[in-house]
Structure 1
């Protein structure tokens, strides 16, 4: 053919600068596009051969090869696929925005569909101009008697096209890297990008560095080794679940996510109708704090990587997991807002949610002991899912476990049944088992268990559960004094009790230098505890919410304290304060201050100033005890 020059035919006005600069937000995407096109070309020639329309002469070793030449500043993409004639170059390359893959599918859609076509040879090809100043194509069609074609473009709207010298079927695309492609002269960057986007593409992908010094053995001989593909052409997620064993899943997890901790368990997704979706979701061993959990769901379209963590497709709470999802039917040439509102995409999301819920339910019912073993690791994920996804909540709320202070795991229903006759539709919990140990001990003395809810998500979780289930209320162990802990009030003279409360309030107000100490006098069954601090559940949740959401930081002094000091009238220290309530003595003051701080220590940490005073006072009380002992 004679040498030709011409202008690229633009189907949409001024589209070329948009393609070159703004079509893709990530410049490294050109590697995915060009390798996808190479795989696409191989799929086409294989299908034509199966239809008897292409003779590939017994060839079975298909490949895509990427060659970096740092000296020449080039990056080549070579395949032995279908190739192109000069007419096809004019149609699929010179006419931007005309998809060769779509045209091919139109012609062959009724002749078999064993292999999916991936990529769209057209716009994807032009992503190369994001990093290259000049792009060349050397191609030879599978059609007998056709001439090789050489095509060249410097990034403007003009091209040159002439006969080429390629002798093997396929296509070689050479990018002459410009300033924007400087980073792709780095061998590690190219290799990492291929592995990022092309790990599961259907044909072997090889990477070579043309001007790299050959590796030698200790005697100086060049080591000749077989090239290894960077990708897995038959990834585990495409196989039937019954063809995979536990070790297969663990190996795939380690290789895909570079995480050498074993996953807890996994779900193999395998659906062909009404949409095609394959994948594996792994439940990793999570960190202790919800804020530090980082999952990763890799979304693929026909083995081509699309993106991580597309929450428009994958339910948001599942993004705490790790996994691979491949959905060839997913519409990708649309905005993310379209995906979010698309009914088909919602069906995909609902299907994934259902499969996860089904897996959790089957684990709970078939192997409760194993489920309990996993619970501490998966509970933040499950609770987050219950909050964020109503359908997930409906399927899973009955199997949510609560760990009790006696190290047992129970459901909410099991907890309530265990405490029938003692508690009315309420679940006691602790947020700090050590700090709140005194309250736990009091409840245990009356055969009442508390559950441990110490994770950062638990505050939102229990509020959500109460909203959904009106017949259950969560109460922290220090939110009130259970009737179980008190002696009967029968026979108590209310007038006398009120006077005692008034007298003790005056003692504690003076000792604590306060004006409004909120005090409650009770006859507790236990004589070991002098005093306790309680804070209503609603008040504490309000404080926690303000602290969590306040933009300028929450100052506790902004909200008046509702903490109540509960004094046990049976205890000798409280009896002492009552007997000497009208005596202005240092001893009464010391006892009142110490009683208050001891109660507060069981409720929450003391401030630095209060702790300093507490330690100094404790030393003073012990010195007085020694002095008293020696004088008597």
Structure 2
């Protein structure tokens, strides 16, 4: 006979799984229990706004986290809404019944826009990941409610009875297991609180109970000693006027009391919760220093502030980077109602924007059950697209209205922009007209500007410089011919060049040392060129011992340059790619990175080599011209440099005879 029914989950089976696997990071239990305390306070404040709870005039809401290293306990105290026996039975004894969800459903039409953190009702059980025993003492705000004491030793059995708590709120005490004593270490606990709770919306106080007891004993001892001294002083000098001295004592006492006043460990109103118009530049910089401990000032920032169609606030900073020494790795902290969730979640933050630093708070994010990861759905994609759009609008707007600063920041922000254009088609479409390049005059130009200025000399070629020192010979040649080139010196530029060529098929990028255009050369007869190339190739191969040496004869307009190296753009790029994948040139058959030795027939040294077959100096000059050309292009190997220095000394000796 067919049978129908509902699936049931046995807590004896699921509870061990919750304890072990609910969270990937065990330290997250502190976040969950502090969040629960904040929720309890937020609920009570909502009830006060709605007139269902009467606040005292001096009502001060807070959450306390107390450690006792000797007792190996960790205690979480709040003065929020509290619970009745029925609520403990409903919210604690029934796993995964969300108290926050029930509260919001009950008051959805009355509540203000303050957010409740909890969603799933499982956060409390994270305590059992680190504790052998957990107790709850709670007293509801409801008039006539009785206090409740609840305890559980980590199994599925619990004891619940009337408690003795006299003040509204909840106290949760964890008796840590042998593997979790680290969490009652002051420095470790403070570190976790700083990580997860720095911006929670209720003041959080941290107390080391042992240190508190010591301070209390020292204060009592000091007070007793001061009383004795005060009595002795009055007896010894009862006739003198001590008004001024008493005033000083009062000031000192006030200062000591101010120093002893506990201070919250968190900011309940982080900067991103304010309207951008209410924030000063100094506040933005101070917030950046406090959160990221980076004392180099950020270049600029973007304040995100959106209420519809989803709630998202945050601040993204463009950091100043020394590309020679700093790793280009940012950190974007993701928050949910001011509760830290994770760093650099790629579902929300496009990968290329992870190079930035910042905080983003989105209460509408669809988190999974442990609040530590996202459910990847279309809503998350909309948030990601919004962030991308705002960054592109900020950058393009700066280029249009604040070009001076845009150019000043360009060297620092260009890696972000170029990476974004490579990885995101939409971002590329928004930013392609605002990519600028520094030319040899130190001015910034767009790609169309460069091509238009040199259309008669460059055709559709874009010449670029990757190393100003190594390519100085070629730079000077360009300047002599009143030609221009752009600087592409960042690591990402190699990939970015390919990206630009794919989107501009008519444009070809050539490194400044890749070839000699007609602008640098005089015409030479084809037959003459062939004859001279064959003759000089044989001499240079014999002198240098490089059998696969490629020689090309030209008549350069600059007669002072005897020889130079050009490197085929295509071959060099292939060689660099192979090197990136750990393959040598020899294994690919590419030779010496596509190098060609160019000899200038208008130079006297080259003419000497050509016309002096028998001279003992011919071999030396060939070797020297070859090494000088290579030195102007890249460093020599150690043994080659040794030979070059020795040969240079020999040449100097010949000149002095």
Query: Take 2:644 and 2:222, find their aligned partners in 1: how far apart are those partners?
Result: 76
How far residue 579 of structure 1 moved from its aligned partner, in angstroms, is 0.6
How far residue 555 of structure 1 moved from its aligned partner, in angstroms, is 5.0
Paired residue for 2:358, among 313, 323, 334? 323
1:496 maps to what in 2?
528
3-state secondary structure, aligned to 1:281:
strand
Query: Take 2:324 and 2:509, find their aligned partners in 1: how far apart are those partners?
Result: 22
Matched residues, number: 611
How far residue 365 of structure 1 moved from its aligned partner, in angstroms, is 1.1
Query: Take 1:154 and 1:10, find their aligned partners in 2: how far apart are those partners?
Result: 21
1:293 maps to what in 2?
328
Query: Take 1:280 and 1:214, find their aligned partners in 2: how far apart are those partners?
Result: 40
Aligned CA RMSD, in angstroms, stands at 2.1
How far residue 418 of structure 1 moved from its aligned partner, in angstroms, is 2.0
1:186 maps to what in 2?
185
- Residue 639 (structure 2) pairs with residue 600 (structure 1): no
More divergent stretch after superposition (345-354 vs 47-56): 47-56
- Asked if the contact 2:11/2:156 (under 8 Å) is kept, the reply is no
How far residue 549 of structure 1 moved from its aligned partner, in angstroms, is 2.1
- Residue 452 (structure 2) pairs with residue 417 (structure 1): yes
How far residue 485 of structure 1 moved from its aligned partner, in angstroms, is 0.3
Paired residue for 1:472, among 507, 528, 536? 507
Paired residue for 1:379, among 414, 418, 438? 414
2:426 maps to what in 1?
391
1:158 maps to what in 2?
157
- Residue 570 (structure 2) pairs with residue 538 (structure 1): yes
Paired residue for 1:520, among 539, 543, 552? 552
- Residue 52 (structure 2) pairs with residue 20 (structure 1): no
2:253 maps to what in 1?
none
How far residue 10 of structure 1 moved from its aligned partner, in angstroms, is 5.9
Paired residue for 1:609, among 639, 645, 651? 639
> In the superposition, relative to structure 1, how do residues 297 and 400 fare at CA in structure 2: closer, same or farther (>3 Å)?
same
Q: Structure 1: which 5+ residue stretches go unaligned?
A: 1-8, 628-632
Paired residue for 1:252, among 251, 266, 287? 287
TM-score normalized by the length of structure 1: 0.93
- Asked if the contact 1:297/1:321 (under 8 Å) is kept, the reply is yes
Task: State how 1:85-164 maps to structure 2 within 5 Å.
Answer: 85-120=84-119, 122-164=121-163
> In the superposition, relative to structure 1, how do residues 268 and 59 fare at CA in structure 2: closer, same or farther (>3 Å)?
same
How far residue 611 of structure 1 moved from its aligned partner, in angstroms, is 0.9
More divergent stretch after superposition (9-18 vs 273-282): 9-18
- Asked if the contact 2:135/2:150 (under 8 Å) is kept, the reply is yes
How far residue 22 of structure 1 moved from its aligned partner, in angstroms, is 1.0
Query: Take 2:291 and 2:368, find their aligned partners in 1: how far apart are those partners?
Result: 26
2:53 maps to what in 1?
54
- Write out per-residue CA displacement over residues 494-550 of structure 1, whole angstroms, 9 at most, x where no aligned residue: 323211111101101100113232111111111111111111111100011111123
Query: Take 2:505 and 2:371, find their aligned partners in 1: how far apart are those partners?
Result: 37
Query: Take 1:326 and 1:568, find their aligned partners in 2: how far apart are those partners?
Result: 65
Paired residue for 2:277, among 234, 242, 252? 242
TM-score normalized by the length of structure 2: 0.90
2:655 maps to what in 1?
625
Query: Take 1:128 and 1:136, find their aligned partners in 2: how far apart are those partners?
Result: 10
Query: Take 2:59 and 2:429, find their aligned partners in 1: how far apart are those partners?
Result: 51
- Asked if the contact 2:341/2:372 (under 8 Å) is kept, the reply is no
Paired residue for 2:318, among 267, 283, 289? 283
Task: State how 1:251-270 maps to structure 2 within 5 Å.
Answer: 251-270=286-305
Query: Take 1:38 and 1:439, find their aligned partners in 2: how far apart are those partners?
Result: 68
Query: Take 1:110 and 1:13, find their aligned partners in 2: how far apart are those partners?
Result: 38
2:232 maps to what in 1?
none
- Asked if the contact 1:590/1:617 (under 8 Å) is kept, the reply is yes
- Asked if the contact 1:200/1:303 (under 8 Å) is kept, the reply is yes
Query: Take 1:111 and 1:77, find their aligned partners in 2: how far apart are those partners?
Result: 29
- Asked if the contact 1:130/1:180 (under 8 Å) is kept, the reply is no
1:509 maps to what in 2?
541
3-state secondary structure, aligned to 2:133:
strand
Query: Take 2:589 and 2:474, find their aligned partners in 1: how far apart are those partners?
Result: 25
Query: Take 1:435 and 1:279, find their aligned partners in 2: how far apart are those partners?
Result: 44
- Write out per-residue CA displacement over residues 314-365 of structure 1, whole angstroms, 9 at most, x where no aligned residue: 0111111100000000000169999575111111111101111111111111
Query: Take 1:191 and 1:341, find their aligned partners in 2: how far apart are those partners?
Result: 32
How far residue 85 of structure 1 moved from its aligned partner, in angstroms, is 0.6
> In the superposition, relative to structure 1, how do residues 115 and 11 fare at CA in structure 2: closer, same or farther (>3 Å)?
farther
How far residue 289 of structure 1 moved from its aligned partner, in angstroms, is 4.3
- Asked if the contact 2:368/2:375 (under 8 Å) is kept, the reply is no
Query: Take 2:457 and 2:329, find their aligned partners in 1: how far apart are those partners?
Result: 42
- Asked if the contact 1:530/1:574 (under 8 Å) is kept, the reply is yes
> In the superposition, relative to structure 1, how do residues 497 and 57 fare at CA in structure 2: closer, same or farther (>3 Å)?
closer
2:405 maps to what in 1?
370
Query: Take 2:12 and 2:300, find their aligned partners in 1: how far apart are those partners?
Result: 52
3-state secondary structure, aligned to 2:476:
helix
More divergent stretch after superposition (342-351 vs 176-185): 176-185
3-state secondary structure, aligned to 2:577:
helix
Q: Structure 2: which 5+ residue stretches go unaligned?
A: 1-7, 225-255
> In the superposition, relative to structure 1, how do residues 60 and 69 fare at CA in structure 2: closer, same or farther (>3 Å)?
same
Task: State how 1:517-596 maps to structure 2 within 5 Å.
Answer: 517-550=549-582, 554-555=584-585, 558-561=588-591, 562-580=594-612, 582-583=613-614, 585-596=615-626
2:238 maps to what in 1?
none
How far residue 50 of structure 1 moved from its aligned partner, in angstroms, is 2.0
- Asked if the contact 2:63/2:77 (under 8 Å) is kept, the reply is yes
1:313 maps to what in 2?
348
2:437 maps to what in 1?
402
> In the superposition, relative to structure 1, how do residues 432 and 336 fare at CA in structure 2: closer, same or farther (>3 Å)?
farther
Query: Take 2:600 and 2:454, find their aligned partners in 1: how far apart are those partners?
Result: 25
- Write out per-residue CA displacement over residues 252-286 of structure 1, whole angstroms, 9 at most, x where no aligned residue: 11111111111110000000011110000001111
- Asked if the contact 2:366/2:375 (under 8 Å) is kept, the reply is no
1:74 maps to what in 2?
73
- Write out per-residue CA displacement over residues 142-182 of structure 1, whole angstroms, 9 at most, x where no aligned residue: 11111100000111111111111101111000011112321
